[in-house]
Structure 1
Amino acid sequence: MFTGIIEETGRILRFERGAKGAQLTVSASTVLTDTKIGDSIAVNGVCLTVTAMSHDTFTADVMAETLRRSNLGALSHSASVNLERAMPAIGRFGGHIVSGHIDGTGTVTGLRQEDNATWVTIAAPPSLLHYIVEKGSIAIDGISLTVATVTDNDFAVSIIPHTGTETTLLNRKSGDQVNLECDILGKYVEKLLAPQKTRGITMEFLSQHGF
């Protein structure tokens, strides 16, 4: 599990495609501390398993499904990426529950400055906007952020200077794709309530479930 609090940015050193998957090598420093082969590191919010490492790089395999769901396949050599180690059991929970399992991608449509903050607007498909709520949480390229506004076509977040400095988000421009992971709590609630969709929420159902 991750929290969406980015520890550092790294750079893509090598991206080798296979028949359907790929292998990725990234330069890093902070996230390699105490890391060993088999550990998980989130790269732009994508949970990857370290398969090889040196004092300043790590390598991970990327499966075909990950390439389909995320923007990893579109990254070029030397591209900057957000990095976060999996949260230790004794760590602080500074963001929100981030699994590292990307739901899909959105497209940056605008960046606007407002005093010390920068508004970033991202268009997303209805299947993802369904789970995005105002003042809820969203992980954008692995960054835990609060949703400021939502429309039928897009949503917006407001970025403080520290987040802008420590992550890659403000290096994005209109038209760029970003990885999106919606708040997992909403997905669980929907799944649990799915049997009730046909008959609605009744007083009997609420009573049976402790309400």
Structure 2
Amino acid sequence: MPGDLDTHGQDARLHTGRLILTPADPHRVPDVDLLIEGLRQSGFLGEPLSVRGERAFAIGPGFLSLLTFAGCAVQIRDNRNAGRFSHIRVPPVSPYPRLMVGRNTRSPRCVGCRAPLSGWRELVDHWATHPHAGVRCPSCAETRPPWLWDWKQQGGFGRVFVCVEEVFPGEAVPTPAFFEQLIRVSGIGWRHFYIQD
């Protein structure tokens, strides 16, 4: 609808997208202060920004060396006065794995038989209030938690997220060195996916 605003007061229809990093095990939560300090030391995070209820940072001097950008017209806007700009947010830690999805998210697939889970959007509220609920595959009848379905890098579960704002889905890929840095500062494995509001 015209006038739909995101949490930053901007027209959500104009959201480029975000790259989201989260621990590979959606139950694991690293020490967020140590994580942020490690990402600052690596140059991924720049100076803190003022964002209500979240920790946010400008991109740091090492940002472009820790992400690989693909595409013919990649634009990294870091000017905060120009409207939408690239920056990094770390939302508050969730008490249980929660699902992050966007308008680009498609039906997850069963990891056993590859059948899609149609009607998954109607289950999101249930998952939020029943964090240990299993999901039965309509094809092979296997039951597994929703985070063990294949979300095809278009959504995912976690308790802690590092969100790189204003990055088109698939445009930025974390380098192996960046994943090594995340493991070094957190002691756990990480994965990534992309969403658009």
User: One fold, TM greater than 0.5?
Assistant: no
Q: From the two aligned structures, give the one with the greater strand fraction.
A: 1
Higher relative contact order (CA 8 A, sep 6+): 2
Shorter-chain TM-score range: under 0.3
- Normalised to the residue count of structure 1, the TM-score between the two structures is 0.23
- Normalised to the residue count of structure 2, the TM-score between the two structures is 0.24
Q: Which structure: larger Rg? A: 1
